[in-house]
């Protein structure tokens, strides 16, 4: 099984994260010609310069978020909607932004067909976040900006947490940002990663 071979053996311990990784069918989120590779522990191309992240990375980032049913989550980079669905299984409400119009439409339709009613997807510039719905208890980025957008940090609630890959294609780090009970922001590096670049909406306008 995927979770046994590639997730649990690599240190993911949260039982709820393991449960949803097992229960959400990854085959629903990959292109038809890649269904036979859906459970390989590697990213897969979904077109438009985007990928569906490898299962281990999805599980690791989700575990770092420490989600509960009270949380409102902002996701930057809907992509196929797989990470979105994982978040929706654990959080109260998910607001997901996708910059590519075609991916926005396909992911939104897929998630609705699968019965998710706590997900809101829109086509927009992830660098701007979703200010009218802020603050968010948790924020996750699934594409890498060169520098973390300050607009996203300002949309993080007190006692909130943000997980993001940051850096160029030569070197990226997964970072964790936390805003404490008095509003101070702390940042730490988790481990090296490699994500597709985060692009601005002007690329697709």
Positions annotated as catalytic residues are 53
Nearby residues of 117 by Cβ (< 8 Å), 6 or more positions away:
none
Q: Among residues 54, 7, 67, 4, which one has the least CA distance to residue 26?
A: 54
| Alpha helices (H) in 98-168, listed in sequence order | 101-113, 150-154
How far is C-alpha 201 from the geometric centre of its chain's CA atoms? 18
In the three-class reduction of DSSP (H, G, I as helix; E, B as strand; rest coil), residue 48 is classed as coil
Residue carrying the six token digits 């701007």: 128
Q: Is the dihedral of CA 199, 163, 151, 97 positive or negative?
A: positive
How far CA 104 is from CA of 79, 111, 197, in Å, comes to: 7, 11, 17
Contact 95, 73 (CB under 8 A): yes
The pair of three-digit structure tokens given for residue 39, joined into one six-digit string:
């459970």
């Amino acid at each position: 099984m995927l979770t046994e071979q590639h997730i649990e053996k690599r240190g993911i311990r949260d039982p709820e994260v393991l449960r949803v990784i097992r229960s959400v069918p990854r085959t629903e989120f990959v292109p038809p010609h890649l269904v036979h590779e859906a459970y390989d522990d590697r990213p897969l191309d979904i077109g438009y310069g985007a990928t569906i992240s490898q299962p281990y990375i999805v599980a690791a980032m989700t575990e770092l978020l420490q989600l509960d049913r009270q949380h409102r989550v902002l996701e930057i980079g809907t992509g196929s909607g797989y990470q979105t669905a994982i978040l929706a299984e654990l959080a109260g409400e998910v607001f997901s932004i996708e910059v590519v119009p075609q991916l926005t439409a396909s992911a939104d339709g897929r998630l609705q067909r699968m019965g998710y009613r706590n997900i809101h997807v829109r086509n927009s510039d992830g660098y701007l976040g979703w200010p009218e719905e802020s603050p968010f208890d948790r924020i996750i980025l699934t594409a890498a900006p060169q520098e973390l957008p300050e607009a996203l940090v300002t949309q993080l609630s007190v006692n909130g947490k943000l997980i993001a890959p940051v850096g160029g294609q030569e070197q990226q780090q997964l970072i964790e940002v936390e805003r404490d009970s008095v509003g101070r922001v702390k940042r730490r590096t988790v481990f090296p990663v490699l994500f597709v670049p985060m692009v601005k909406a002007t690329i697709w306008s």
